[in-house]
Amino acid sequence: MTKFMLLGLFDNVTTTATVVGEVRDLGIKDSEMEIMSNIPYASKIFGRKTPRQWFLPFALGGMAVGVLIAFFMSYITPRLYPIEVGGQGLTPVPPSAIMYFEFMALFTMLGAFVGFLLQNRFPILVRQMYDERITEGYIGVQVLAPSEAVMEQVVKVFENHHAAVVKREDAAGFPDQGMRHLLFWGGLGAAGLVAVLVPLLLTYDVVRLPWINTMKDTVVVKAQEGPRRAAPPDAVPIQGPVLIAGQPATERLPDTPESRERGAALFSINCAMCHGPAGNGEGVVGLKHFPETPPLDGERAAALSDDAIFLVITNGKNRMPSLAENLSPGDTWDIVNYVRSLGGAPAEAGQ
Ligand code: HEC
């Protein structure tokens, strides 16, 4: 049986409401009637149920999504990728609050926007029964009549109430756009989800592409832990005072094998020419020009305190020159540790 699509134009609300009532009495459901107007009349005026509201649920849904994302960013992410910052709270409240605010606002807006478009049945994907006079103030009543007989009855109702225009067409020319809408919004939603998910999968290492995840190749150095990076070649060295009130200005370096090794190397450069290799007192320069140079592997050196050795190296003594300009405090302590190891006397501290 052929269905018909009818359109009647009326010039005022009261008449339209009466027409809608009479058409309904003919057995036509509200879902088969459409009222078009350039003024947003409430559905109640025509005795119709309020159509499904998309605006509020989408705005609230967007808000909930925003809260979830903010929770993920501010709470889950720091736990997936912990950064140790010496007792500092992992998720401080103020920045988290900003995240919650931002994501909630953003997704509430996005949800409201989509809800608004759905509410207005955007986009129009099929041909619609329409008359330009609706734009100029007429109210259009569109009816889907299930048979020719019903169609004739509706036309009669329209004419009884002096419809300005009555249009009738085969309803086959006006397919339902529900399916196309579903495809449109479903497709848009799916595309959006892919656009968001793919970068996230890469970011959170769920999908690992070696040419993107280069961070795993970097050396991880936690706070205050080695290895320390060497200073760049053009950096300006900063050196604190060597002595304060005549005493070493720094704590002694612990007596470690590494420290002794560095000390031995520095000793062979700075001290061995006078004090002899391994401090045996037979340095070339010492033997020739500084006959009073003592060996450093005997009792005399063993009797000296660590600080005393540090001060001799730094200040010099009698004809032994000060080496403060050649050696940093760290270098000097390394040499002290090495000298300690020569005489057999234990170091005072740091072992
Ligand atoms: C130019 C030669 C020369 C150089 C270089 C030199 N010394 Fe001496 N050193 C001496 C002489 C000379 C003495 C004896 C000073 C005195 O007691 O009159 C001495 C004494 C010492 C003493 C003993 C001080 C004491 O009171 O018994 C120590 C320890 C010492 N030097 C360590 C070093 C160290 C470590 C270096 C390298 C960083 C070094 N010296 C470099 C010539 C040198």
Residue 236 lies in a domain: no
Domain limit, last residue, from 176, 207, 232: 176
Judged on CB neighbours under 10 Å (0-12, 13-18, 19+), 22 is middle
- pLDDT higher than 90, residue 64: yes
Q: pTM for the whole thing?
A: 0.49
Tens of pLDDT, residue by residue over 155-191, are: 999 999 999 889 999 888 888 888 888 999 999 999 9
In degrees and rounded to multiples of 5, residue 249 shows phi and psi of -80, -10
Rounded distance from Cα 312 to ligand 1 centre (Å): 7
Where in the sequence is the domain holding 328, given as residue range(s)? 243-343
Q: Are residues 127 and 260 in the same domain?
A: no
Rounded distance from Cα 301 to ligand 1 centre (Å): 10
Q: Are residues 169 and 247 in the same domain?
A: no
Sequence-distant (6+) residues with CB within 8 A of 305 are: 348
Domain limit, last residue, from 144, 159, 176: 176
Residue 350 lies in a domain: no
Residue 278 lies in a domain: yes
Q: Is the CB of 324 under 6 A from ligand 1?
A: no
Residue 319, domain CATH: 1.10.760.10
Count how many domains the chain has.
2
Looking at every residue in the chain, the average pLDDT score rounds to 86
Q: What is the DSSP letter of 8?
A: E
- pLDDT higher than 70, residue 87: no
Q: What is the DSSP letter of 304?
A: S
Q: Are residues 149 and 248 in the same domain?
A: no
Q: Are residues 117 and 251 in the same domain?
A: no
Ligand 1 pocket check: which of 293, 297, 304, 310 to mutate, most ligand atoms within 8 Å of Cβ? 293
Q: Are residues 160 and 299 in the same domain?
A: no
Rounded distance from Cα 320 to ligand 1 centre (Å): 5
User: What is d(CA 10, CA 140) in angstroms, rounded to the nearest whole number?
Assistant: 6
Q: Are residues 74 and 162 in the same domain?
A: yes
Domain limit, last residue, from 144, 176, 208: 176
pLDDT-derived band at 250 (thresholds 50, 70, 90) equals confident
